[in-house]
Amino acid sequence: MLALYRRFMPLILALYVLGVAAGFLYLNMRLTVEWVAIVLFFAAVLSGRALLFVRDWGVFIAVLLAWQLASPLATQFAFPWHVQEMIDADKLMFFGTVPAVWLQQHLAHPGTLEPWDVFAAVMYMLHFLAPLLAGFALWMTNRSLFRRFAITFVVVALAGFATYITYPAVPPWMAAEPLQHVHNYYVTSPRGHVYLPGVQNLFSSIASNWYNPYHGTIFFAQLHLHYDQVAAVPSEHAMYPLLFFLFLRKQFGRIAYLAFIYIAALLFSITYMGQHYLIDAVIGFAYALAGYSLVMHGAPACRRWWIARRARVAVPAPLRAMAELEEA
């Protein structure tokens, strides 16, 4: 019986995670870091690795929670907000058109919940579940690689947080409101300027027309009282999926390229709903590639160089000179 359970365990875990995720999405509740951690812990219980999960994931989850709590601090700094640069970048890439505007003009029907609205909202709400679920798959198959994934995840998250502080970027839905420049910030004002006409925050509209009332974050609402509205560059929604694709490719090979379907769907989601410009996603991809290269290639290369250098220093000078003469 136990052998049969182990044989079907991947299917059981997949059905469990899909069922929980579907329940959260249908009931219009947010799958935040703490809830994803709880879901994955019970998945570890089902797999018989609960204590190992606590040991391997404990610090990682604690760091993610601390980062979530600290994220509103980015708004306390006085760096100037940016609004026009992202619009110009998207127009440059798409021949004078901003994709968020084009998509909403052709697909959005305010007050009506279209199938693509549901699809976009679901992709958007999988923000934390998808990358941490990918991490869980790595942990189940290669704990050493999972540890490097966790380190890289934290590295790119901290890099993103530093950028949110130094380069506050107004998202498309906010640029569509009448904004007045006050010191380094923009505030909504009837006398303000609309930088990007024709875009609205479709996620809020979709959530209000969902199958159930919006419940937000149950039990952990105190952890999410505030969020940084101008934390748009880089796009975490693009950064994390490319990051977990890189690690899945290393572990599972070509089958990992299926993640590009999810990445494409997510790009549609964040653009269509007015949450990000595509330039935000491009920069997010760059952060993911840089973080992966640093942890997987840069850090090991530096370590090898340091070990070789220490080995050379440890050899007495006369012996080193003799070895060099013999090599000559």
pLDDT of residue 272: 96
Q: Confirm if 142 and 288 have CB atoms less than 8 A apart.
A: no
Could you tell me the pLDDT band of residue 324, with boundaries at 50, 70 and 90?
low
* HSE-CB of 316 using CA atoms within 13 angstroms: 3
Residue 249 has pLDDT above 90, yes or no: yes
Cα dihedral value 191, 197, 203, 209, nearest 10: 90
Which pLDDT does position 244 carry in this prediction? 94
pTM of the full predicted structure?
0.86
pLDDT of 5 reads 64
Question: Domain boundaries in the chain?
Answer: 72-169+197-327
Closest CA to 236 of 275, 293, 264: 275
**pLDDT band with cut points at 50, 70 and 90 for residue 226:** low
pLDDT at 310 over 90: no
Q: Where does the pLDDT of residue 309 fall: very low under 50, low under 70, confident under 90, or very high at 90 and above?
A: confident
| Mean pLDDT along residues 172-191 | 88
Helices (H), 126-199: 129-141, 143-166, 172-175
* Pairwise CA distance, residues 61 & 160, whole Å: 18
Check: CB of residue 36 under 8 Å from CB of residue 220. no
Task: Give the torsion sign (CA, 65, 59, 282, 185).
Answer: positive
